Amino acid sequence: SFESRTAMTDNEQQASSIQTGNPVLHIDNVKKSYRNGKVVNPVLKGISFDINPHEVVALLGPSGSGKSTLMKCVNLLEHVDDGQIWLNGTDITDPRVNADNSRARIGVVFQQFNLFPHMSVLKNVTLGAIKVHHWPKDKAEAKAHELLRRIGMNEKTKAYPDQLSGGQQQRVAICRALMTDPELLLLDEITSALDPMLVGEVLDMVTELKERGTTILMATHEMEFAHHAADRIVLLQKGVITENGTPQEVMEESQNPDTREFFSHFR
């Protein structure tokens, strides 16, 4: 935890940072099954990987391979059955660690239904900062205006979600997720529900966040984008990580027949 980290001496801290490399996210042997009566569906069968500061990691895999389940485990929307998830040195899967505090350190954008339809853009973007993080309204609105200005949407603050395109809605949802400078941004197929014409503007925003140093885990089927924008590709197939490497290593050079089969569908 943060407390125990600050209690360490400089030497101890140095030693631990050498051992762990201080990843933002450290996923250690996570297992997760869904149960329906006596039927057990093992979805994550021992998942381990790290995300380092400022890395953009693309989580790829067929539909149903468990990408969303893994992201929900990271965001504590689902419990892991086994293993740990560490966020900047905190084991957020430890039941003694406050889950709301951990969730508040992570920004999340889903495929759809991110915005409240009965609230203006400004209200949508500021709500969490005010209600969850207890920011004063004027501080939250100033930050929201700054984020919306960056994406050229400062004139849409009074608009309602249904007056925006799907691409604009997703970009507003990203602004909301960024309000309180999360340590990690989770993007779960944020372009999958969009008209193809609108995908580019959302992916351009992800590229801009990458350039600003945001640490991102994104599940996506946009292979071209993953290839040129991700620092690393993690491939999830049948509940296990089958690849973890650079886009070139995974998408071009892998000799694993399952990997080659997976990417052959996107050529």
Binding flag, residue 64, ligand ADP (CB under 6 A): yes
Q: How far is CA 227 from CA 30, 117, 199, 216, in A?
A: 26, 34, 16, 15
Q: Does residue 193 contact residue 19 with C-beta atoms inside 8 Å?
A: no
3-state helix, strand, coil in the chain (%, to 5): 40, 25, 35
Of 209 and 235, the one with the shorter C-beta distance to ligand ADP is 235
User: Looking only at residues 13 through 42 of this chain, which bind ligand ADP when binding is defined by CB under 6 A?
Assistant: 34, 41
Per CB under 6 A, the segment of 9-17, 22-30, 57-65, 126-134 that binds ligand ADP is: 57-65
Cα-to-chain-centroid distance, residue 247: 18
d(CA 62, CA 240): 12
Of 182 and 239, the one with the shorter C-beta distance to ligand ADP is 239
Of 67 and 232, the one with the shorter C-beta distance to ligand ADP is 67
d(CA 55, CA 103): 20
Binding flag, residue 61, ligand ADP (CB under 6 A): yes
- Shortest approach of ligand ADP to residue 62 CB, angstroms? 7
Q: Which residues contact 1 (CB under 8 A, 6 or more apart)?
A: 89, 90, 97
- Shortest approach of Mg ion to residue 68 CB, angstroms? 3
Q: For Cα atoms 191, 197, 198, give the angle at the middle one, nearest 5 degrees.
A: 45
Binding flag, residue 239, ligand ADP (CB under 6 A): no
Per CB under 6 A, the segment of 61-69, 101-109, 110-118, 252-260 that binds ligand ADP is: 61-69
Binding flag, residue 191, ligand ADP (CB under 6 A): no
- Shortest approach of ligand ADP to residue 74 CB, angstroms? 12
- Shortest approach of ligand ADP to residue 65 CB, angstroms? 4
Of 61 and 107, the one with the shorter C-beta distance to Mg ion is 61
- Shortest approach of ligand ADP to residue 106 CB, angstroms? 17
| 29 CB-side CA count, 13 A | 2
Q: Does residue 99 contact residue 73 with C-beta atoms inside 8 Å?
A: no
Binding flag, residue 168, ligand ADP (CB under 6 A): no
Per CB under 6 A, the segment of 63-71, 97-105, 124-132, 200-208 that binds ligand ADP is: 63-71
Of 110 and 263, the one with the shorter C-beta distance to Mg ion is 110
200 φ, ψ to 5°? -60, -45
Out of Mg ion, ligand ADP, none, what residue 34 binds, judged by CB under 5 to 8 A for its kind, is: ligand ADP
Q: What is the full DSSP assignment across 21-46? A: ---SEEEEEEEEEEEETTEEEEEEEE
d(CA 193, CA 180): 26
Of 80 and 175, the one with the shorter C-beta distance to ligand ADP is 80
Residues that bind ligand ADP (CB under 6 A): 34, 41, 43, 61, 63-69
